[in-house]
């Protein structure tokens, strides 16, 4: 009886097939884990941005003197709010006392506008000065 030394071709093919299957399974698990990590990071970042926007908007509304008007998604301008009624809002114009030192009168009232631009999918906060000056103000 002959003693075989080494592998036959069939053994090499079977071993290669098994190794390639293990590599494909591990690769798919790694890709799935990376995608899940990216999705979780995106959701966390979006949540942090929403909290930051909520803080700024809440601060502006709390420090305002009164609401000038509200523009709804139907482009209806509402100057008097009805109790227990909800609105789909595009923009809110508020009256507040300015803390800006560049303005001569410290009691000068300025308007602040919080607006949502649908086409850009962004929220803008603009400062609208009463004296019609060309000062740019606001952020997105």
pTM for the full predicted model:
0.54
Last residue of a domain, one of 47, 62, 77: 62
Same domain, 48 and 30: yes
Full domain range(s) for residue 43: 11-62
Residue 97 CA to residue 105 CA, distance in Å, equals 10
Any domain includes 26:
yes
Q: In what order do the strands lie in the sheet with 109-117?
A: 77-78, 64-72, 89-97, 109-117, 122-128
Per-residue pLDDT of the chain (140 residues; tens, 9 = 90+): 666 677 788 889 999 999 999 999 999 999 999 999 999 999 999 999 889 888 888 887 888 888 888 888 888 888 877 788 888 888 888 887 655 544 444 444 567 777 877 787 777 777 766 555 444 455 55
Same domain, 70 and 100: yes
Strands (E), 5-106: 64-72, 77-78, 89-97
Domain count, the chain: 2
Q: Classify residue 6 as left (phi > 0), alpha (psi -120 to 50) or beta.
A: left
Same domain, 71 and 139: yes
Any domain includes 79:
yes
Any domain includes 50:
yes
Same domain, 83 and 106: yes
Any domain includes 111:
yes
Same domain, 139 and 75: yes
Instruction: Of 90, 61, 95, give the one whose Cα is nearest residue 78.
Output: 90
């Amino acid at each position: 009886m002959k003693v075989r030394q080494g592998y036959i071709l069939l053994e090499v093919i079977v071993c290669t097939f098994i190794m390639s299957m293990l590599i494909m399974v591990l690769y798919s698990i790694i890709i799935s884990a990376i995608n899940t990590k990216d999705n979780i990071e995106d959701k966390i970042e979006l949540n942090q941005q929403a909290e930051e926007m909520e803080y700024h908007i809440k601060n502006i509304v709390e420090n305002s003197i009164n609401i000038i008007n509200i523009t709804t998604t139907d482009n209806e301008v509402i100057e008097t709010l009805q109790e227990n009624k909800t609105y789909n809002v595009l923009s809110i114009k508020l009256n507040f006392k300015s803390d800006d030192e560049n303005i001569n009168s410290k009691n000068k009232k300025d308007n602040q506008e919080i607006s949502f631009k649908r086409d850009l999918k962004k929220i803008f906060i603009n400062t609208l000065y009463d004296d019609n000056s060309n000062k740019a103000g606001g952020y997105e």
